[in-house]
Amino acid sequence: MVDTTIEEVAARRVLTGRGDLTVEVEVYTADGFGRAAAPAGASKGRHEVAFLPEGGIDEALAAFERLVAPELAGLDAAEQYAVDGKLEEVDGTGRFEKIGGAVAVATSMAAARAAANTLGIPLFRHLGGAAARTIPLPLGNAIGGGKHSRGLGPDLQEFLVIPLNPPDAAAAVLANLEVHRRALKYITKVDPHFTGGKNDEGAWTPRVSAETALRILKEAAAEVSKETGVEIGLGVDAAASSLWNGAKYVYQNEGKERTPREQLEYMAKLLDEFGLVYLEDPFQEDDFQSFAELTDRYRDRLIVGDDLYVTNAARIEEGGKMRATTAVLIKPDQTGTLTRAAEAVKTARRYGMKVVASHRSGDTEYDTLAHVAVALGAEVIKTGIVGGERTAKLNELIRIGEYLGKWGRMAAIRP
């Protein structure tokens, strides 16, 4: 019988796809091994756990050696709650201010991978059990703006595409890829001088308005849908907290300011005019009421909270009671452990929310998110379209689909 007892752990600094430093952790059991690294976001929600402790990456690694490593030896890697509980215990702050969320989530994921490797089963099967057989729909950033594009593109942060009726994971991934490719043709019609610049997530970064970006994607998506038979929906991540100055939403490139009420009507206009199926963070991170008002009008769409919730079960509970959103974004690094992320999903499900498992703008080459998304039963996986750290997850999603075979099924997001 295999032994999943943790015998040794190690941590080091490595790079994200954006070139920033992050933490990578290795966990060795008696009969297996797991490794994982923490992704990092450019636009972090105010209520996320601390990514690094005071003192930065050096202090994070020192805290790992001093506080984490001695306590993990002898634990059972297959008991995720025990590993994650120990991380919370040695930190003691609730927000991982002492060891850093990067250390916490990298350790949590590395332990899970070590257990799966030791047991000889896929990670999604170890985390989700036999019921984990739904393949999430890939949501990809095709045109970028906001902080992800250094303020050079549209004021809104992401213009997204999602296949709605793909027959399998491969068809879904390829449909998004083709829309991304076709979008360049339409961008150069609007701006012949566009040189093909991309942002951190591989999205095109033309200097166009939000409406122009959506018109471009609408044309490209219609063209691809007609050729492939895969219906493609449009989405927006407004990342409205990055526009909020405390009183109004400032659209610097547009030269406009919008009050909360004007922001609500503008978001409604985009939903109506472009038939958006997905809208993330249309309001700043503490405005539960505006989320609830918009959601009340569009309960048939994915109105999604990211900065609003930051994968925090208590905040999701608050949003659920107000019927603030129809979906929640899940980023394990926002909350620090896989156990906490699973608790956040459980809370969201209690209020009928759909789940979107998401990458970060500064992500890593690991494919862990694809497994976590399937394990959590997520309807959507938000993980870009192109770029090595994005395609690592997408390629793994295709492999998981093949592994599940006839037992797998594509998710659906329509009511």
Flag whether 306 is marked binding: yes
Flag whether 346 is marked binding: no
Contact 372/127 with Cβ under 8 angstroms?
A: yes
Flag whether 193 is marked binding: no
The residue annotated as part of the active site, out of 331, 354, 393, 396, is: 331
Residue type, 2: V
Flag whether 281 is marked binding: no
Contacts 24+ apart (CB under 8 A), 196-200: 198/144, 198/386, 198/387, 199/141, 199/144, 199/148, 199/149, 199/150, 199/153, 199/361, 200/17, 200/18, 200/42, 200/148, 200/361, 200/362
Flag whether 97 is marked binding: no
Flag whether 358 is marked binding: yes
Flag whether 157 is marked binding: yes
> How far is residue 69's CA from residue 337's CA, in Å, rounded to a whole number?
16
CA angle centred on 309, ends 305 and 315, rounded to 5°: 130
Flag whether 360 is marked binding: yes
> How far is residue 80's CA from residue 151's CA, in Å, rounded to a whole number?
40
406 carries an active-site annotation: no
The residue annotated as part of the active site, out of 24, 26, 48, 201, is: 201
284 backbone dihedrals φ, ψ, rounded to 5°: -65, 160
DSSP 46-62: TTSPPSS-TTHHHHHHH
- Both structure tokens of 88: 């919370």
331 carries an active-site annotation: yes
DSSP 137-168: EEEEEEEE-GGGGTTSS-SSSEEEEEESS-SS
Residue 104 CA to its chain's centroid (Å): 17
Residue type, 50: A
Binding residues for (2R)-2-phosphoglycerate: 157, 331, 360-361, 382
Binding residues for substrate: 148, 158, 280, 306, 358-361, 382
Would you name the residues annotated as active-site residues?
Answer: 201, 331
